[in-house]
Amino acid sequence: MTQEPQDDQSRPISRWAPPASASDVPPAGQSSRDDLVDDERDTAEVPLPGMPGPVVAPPPAADTAPLQPAPPPPPGGSLPGFDGPLAPPPAAPARPDSTKRGRVPGPIWALAAAVAFLLGVLGGYAGGVLEDRDDMSSLAGGGLDPGSIETDAPLEGDDASIVKVAATLLPSTVQIFAEYQGVEDAATGSGFVFDRNGHVVTNNHVVADAAKAKGSIEVVDHKGRRYKAEVVGRSAVYDLAVLDVPEVKELDPASLGSTSRLRIGEGVVAIGSPLGLSSTVTSGIVSALQRPVSTGQTEDDTSYINAVQTDAAINPGNSGGPLVNLVGQVIGVNSAIATAGGGEGGEGGSIGVGFAIPIDQVKVTAAQILKTGKATYPIVGASVDVQAADHNGALISVVEAGSPAAAGGLKDGDRVTKVGDVTVTDGIGMIVAIRAHQPGETVEFTVMRNGARHELKIKLAAQTENLA
């Protein structure tokens, strides 16, 4: 039996669309529905990487020196833009205790304001560019070649439209066919060209069964050309996979944005192959940010994401495709939906509540996979109750001996109410808040114990996924 989504926003309200059954397979010539595969279970908690805030350039400092009086216009001639010299006003009687002040002509004030505005705009743009470069540079040692990644927005802000976003991103978006339970092309999904080295990013659940069975995986570009693909590595924890597709080097990689700059209400476009219908575009807005959701079929699945929520229509087959802002940058990977029913047969579809993995997490996980073939995530070494009915914090059930949690002073029965500066109301909220950090970081945990509040500092350890 499938569990209905819950209305309380602090609890997970999404689940994977179920895998295709025999009765769901469309007639020949049509694509199959997206499959959803349960993967390895892992009970350790894990964090997303930190998301840097936007860099804002300071406004130019104002000149505090007193301005001198403007000289009178030269006699006998006219200044440019004037009919003739202005007659000087009659001299006023001197006041012994008055202070002489010079008036600044209006054109000079206008010029100064224009220069200040221009410097502010250029400073803000430069700050954004520097943030992107710093972000890419920080991933260089992790297997990601900054020179192979595109981050510049392909569209100008005043040139943004859904039509232009679609025209720009469709050539970088692919459809994925993977073997499922021994049947070729039975699992379908979406993906996008990640870099100039022939790598494609998609969801783990799209290719997990094929990867474990060493089955066939193919990608199809927007012109219908098919390419053989192999799995470089995948993460069940973050539900991400990187494919090696040498022939897609001729395709332009999608431009990668930053989740830290997203604002609730801004427009987004979802691109992919819902229900096997290739090159499909839907639009909507960012409905919410940092939404803790479970992306697995079962409650004990440890694939949790700090998701971008959108009302752009996402359906089975969209999994792994890009969620794009209106200047053409990928800001998430479409991964899960909430449904209002439909059961295990797959009849349920979009009800306007979809979830995407933040692109900042995608960049970090992809860099790890490209370097080692595996993904690494942080842990604290404690088990948390993800099914508690109350929302008074995350209830710690077991703290492992010798773990970072034990070293930091966390105890069985503690309730974690904050991780860093993020308020935690339940177990899943705690897991995704931890995943907002990196292994090796020291994070402050606020816990309630016997009615008293305690502040604990815990240094996060690292754990590597070992997937077949």
391 is catalytic: no
Distance CA 165, CA 177 (A): 25
What Rg, from alpha-carbon coordinates, does the chain have? 28
Contact status, residue 389 vs residue 368, Cβ threshold 8 Å:
no
239 is catalytic: yes
Query: Per residue in 293-326, is it b (16+ CB within 10 Å) or e — as a string?
Result: bbbbbeeebbbbbbbbbbbbbbbbbbbbbbbbbb
Handedness of CA 170, 20, 319, 245 (dihedral sign): negative
Catalytic residue among 39, 195, 239, 414: 239
Catalytic residue among 319, 350, 383, 403: 319
Token output for 418: 């904050």
Catalytic residue among 39, 132, 205, 258: 205
Distance CA 164, CA 98 (A): 63
205 is catalytic: yes
Q: Which residues are catalytic?
A: 205, 239, 319
